Amino acid sequence: MSNSLARLTLVAVGALVCGISMGYGDTAEAASIREIQDQGKAMVRDAEEMVMHGGMGDGHAILHHCAEVAKQAQAILKVLPARDEHGKEAVPHLQDAIKHCNRVAELGDKVDPGASLNPAVKARAAVKEAMKHLLAMKDGGA
């Protein structure tokens, strides 16, 4: 198994565990709204890069950026404030992004990039929808 495939498999397993545990929102781990939004912006950049590279036929780059999207989505899920309604609304979209990126990881970088582009585009759509909710978050959970 290649080193990058092994790492992506590890990310996929972590994403699955994160999605199942629903362990987001612990106030002890809660980050500032600004930090969450900055992480979300980085996630959107990776999602855009992922799809752009997919359009150019670069399967390895799709895989790399999708792994980053999944990692960032997991990090956001861990620190979302439990009382913030907008944060709660972002959760299913973040989980969808992770799910679609897991599909990209399953396909790997040896398949036709067009095959991995479909779940990558779905992941990007989920990321953009999650970001709408993350940007609506205000300090104090209002």
For residues 131 and 89, give the distance between their C-alpha atoms in angstroms, rounded to a whole number: 10
| 10-residue averages of pLDDT along the chain (142 residues) | 50 46 43 92 96 87 95 96 92 98 91 89 97 87 46
pLDDT reported for residue 19 = 45
Q: In the 8-state DSSP scheme, what is residue 26? A: -
Q: What is the DSSP string of 90-125?
A: HHHHHHHHHHHHHHHHHH-SSS-HHHHHHHHHHHHH
- The CATH architecture of the domain made up of 3-135 is Up-down Bundle (1.20)
State the pTM of this model.
Answer: 0.76
Structure tokens at 5: 């495939």
pLDDT reported for residue 23 = 43
Structure tokens at 27: 């106030």
